């Protein structure tokens, strides 16, 4: 997957506000995201996308970052090469896939050894 998209191109906003107390959820602008990354509170979205590229051939459709109960999370909407859309959640602090989210069955680790 080509990582031609930078964090500045993403729609960084809140979602599912009807499910979460509005006081616990707030919108994040690009400058704030850069500050959070530089101060080490979260990892860049590119880190999560690089990890994901090892498993899936996807195109990023949308990315959102929000905080709930002092936990930062990226919500990604992706289109698989096969054409359907999936939503994945990543822990923004560690850059890893949320334990409650599973990769689609089309995603398998790419072999690095040549045959």
Residue 77 is predicted with a pLDDT of: 95
Q: Minimum mean pLDDT among 35-44, 75-84, 102-111: which range?
A: 102-111
CB 78 within 8 A of CB 56: yes
Task: State pLDDT tens for residues 21-52.
Answer: 444 556 677 888 899 999 999 999 999 999 99
Q: Does 5 have pLDDT greater than 70?
A: no
81: Cβ–Cβ under 8 A, 6 or more apart, which residues?
A: 57, 58, 106
76 or 108: which carries more pLDDT confidence? 76
Q: For residues 88 and 83, give the distance between their C-alpha atoms in angstroms, rounded to a whole number.
A: 16
pTM to 2 decimal places: 0.70
């Amino acid at each position: 997957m080509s990582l031609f998209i930078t964090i500045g191109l993403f729609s960084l906003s809140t979602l599912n506000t009807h499910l979460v107390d509005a006081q616990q959820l707030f919108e994040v602008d690009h400058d704030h995201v850069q500050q959070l990354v530089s101060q080490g509170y979260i990892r860049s979205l590119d880190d999560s996308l690089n990890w994901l590229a090892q498993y899936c051939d996807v195109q990023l459709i949308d990315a959102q970052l929000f905080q709930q109960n002092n936990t930062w999370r990226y919500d990604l909407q992706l289109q698989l090469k096969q054409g359907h859309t999936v939503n994945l959640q990543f822990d923004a602090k560690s850059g890893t896939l949320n334990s409650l989210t599973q990769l689609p069955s089309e995603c398998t680790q790419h072999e690095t050894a040549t045959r």
